[in-house]
Structure 1
């Protein structure tokens, strides 16, 4: 994956379903299929900055229209205003995947189950982001790196990742919410994010675990770097009560945001510290 590319090979002859995205602060990644038509909303006063071989289908005062490249990879487009402020649109073009497949380039994906209760949000992904070892430190949002989201199964490279756009924006929105609530946090620490069905089954997790669908994350806050949940409630201890504190904040976030999903608390064990699960499954679940 060539993360420094700003090359967009755009085609107007073949148009896929139009997807509309807004540019977030500093860095916004959109996860798309090859040749998918994209409409990007961007701040007024910005224009396409330095780039190579980019052809925009159309552009008005607030939107860019282009097709994703045909070749799966990670592509970048810089927008810049007269003051030199930049926004980056990062386009992750997926490697196509069909539900009957179990591997991609030798990497075990496994079999996705039939959608939970027939719900659309439990459909198997139709593609995955290819990840090489050189991509691990790449930021996929302003505060999240690719290596934090990868499945933990043992394999060589390439590895494959699935994450969806709402999952990525939820992480950034949640982080900003916590800062606004006075929490001392610069970025999340992750216990788990994406899991392939192959790996999910190997650890005995639920058949329809939301971790298989690109918008579920097991998080904790670790500003002191000791691999344990920080003392969030200020009682001088790092214990289960800090998990309860983060859980309550996640609940408040869901009530005040557009996201609807699951929140679960996990208290410290011998093999891990405490953490809180959050996802965007589309209906409320608590544990």
Structure 2
């Protein structure tokens, strides 16, 4: 079994700063080996890694970095990498800082270790929109964010920059198995849509997806039933004012390999029901207990029963502390 790359168990002292740290390379959990890994799944891991802001370590062959206009984006590699940007290039180095343009848009870069391994970085410059700029951005309704961060947590501060999803950008690969469009709010839009999306969430979802395939559950991606929500949309469906969804840090997911719109029969009992969501819940929870490097990506985990509007699903977020609810 290919392991998520990792280091020693974090000390109790480090736990106090977990909301500011994220480690992307996860140790595989202890899993049921009676079922072979899903055939054909490629986790998209590389033998090298880069470190981004807040200590986020990424060893994925495709990843998106979201920057505000003019931001000096810190990128550190654990081995010298060449920087290829169109016809421009930089000599191999471990310091790979990038200054974001002031104009929103996409810059694609390839990082090459010279040994046949390449990481594609999709560097996306967001559009500035501070809370006092109003409740809409270019005609797209956001609504009102809480004026103060929840319990003082910085990752609950109202965003000041949003990803502008122009034509075609919804198909952008933000990680090996996820596309930007999977996380768009379901709110109708006449023009461009906008969202925020946590890079830490992407790392966490990739780790869960790899573990699911190791469990033998065939899945090229998760169906993201709900990703980003504008505060306006979040309020319209009756959800809490401080939901991680409005900060781009949560996803409601299920496995649907046959694409029939409902959770697959994960527990093998011949029935598609809440017990399949419980199986996925338990897998995610096991990562917290058995994969020490999952700890910096700690967050909320919830199980939800089917209703007349949707099938069973699991909520995953990266809030920075452990929260559990709904396990049947």
Instruction: Sort the TM-score into its range (normalised by shorter chain).
Output: 0.7 to 0.9
TM-score under structure 1 normalisation? 0.86
1:2-27: CA deviation from partner (whole Å, max 9, x where unpaired): xxxxxxxxxxxxxxxx7765443211
2:217 pairs with 1:183: yes
Within 5 A, what are the aligned runs for 1:66-85? 66-85=98-117
Native 8 Å contact 2:76 2:97 kept in 1? no
Within 5 A, what are the aligned runs for 1:116-131? 116-131=150-165
Distance 2:102 2:54 in 1: 16
The residue that corresponds to 1:263 in the other structure is 301
Native 8 Å contact 2:82 2:93 kept in 1? no
Native 8 Å contact 2:263 2:312 kept in 1? yes
The residue that corresponds to 2:247 in the other structure is 213
Please state how far the C-alpha of 1:146 moved relative to its aligned partner.
1.3
Pair 286,21 (structure 1): closer, same or farther in 2 beyond 3 Å: closer
TM-score under structure 2 normalisation? 0.76
SS in 1 for 2:74: strand
Distance 1:43 1:115 in 2: 34
Distance 2:114 2:72 in 1: 28
Count the aligned residue pairs. Answer: 268
2:238 pairs with 1:204: yes
SS in 2 for 1:247: helix
Aligned match for 1:37, one of 49, 66, 72: 72
Native 8 Å contact 2:172 2:180 kept in 1? yes
2:192 pairs with 1:154: no
SS in 1 for 2:173: coil
1:130-169: CA deviation from partner (whole Å, max 9, x where unpaired): 0023222221111111111000101122110101221121
Distance 1:207 1:25 in 2: 33
Distance 1:63 1:22 in 2: 14
Q: Does 258-267 or 39-48 show the bigger shift?
A: 39-48
5+ residue gaps, structure 2: 1-52
Native 8 Å contact 1:137 1:145 kept in 2? yes
Distance 1:81 1:209 in 2: 40
Distance 1:246 1:154 in 2: 30
5+ residue gaps, structure 1: 1-17
Pair 22,69 (structure 1): closer, same or farther in 2 beyond 3 Å: farther
Native 8 Å contact 1:25 1:87 kept in 2? yes
Distance 1:31 1:49 in 2: 19
Aligned match for 2:207, one of 173, 187, 198: 173
Pair 280,21 (structure 1): closer, same or farther in 2 beyond 3 Å: closer
Native 8 Å contact 1:247 1:276 kept in 2? yes
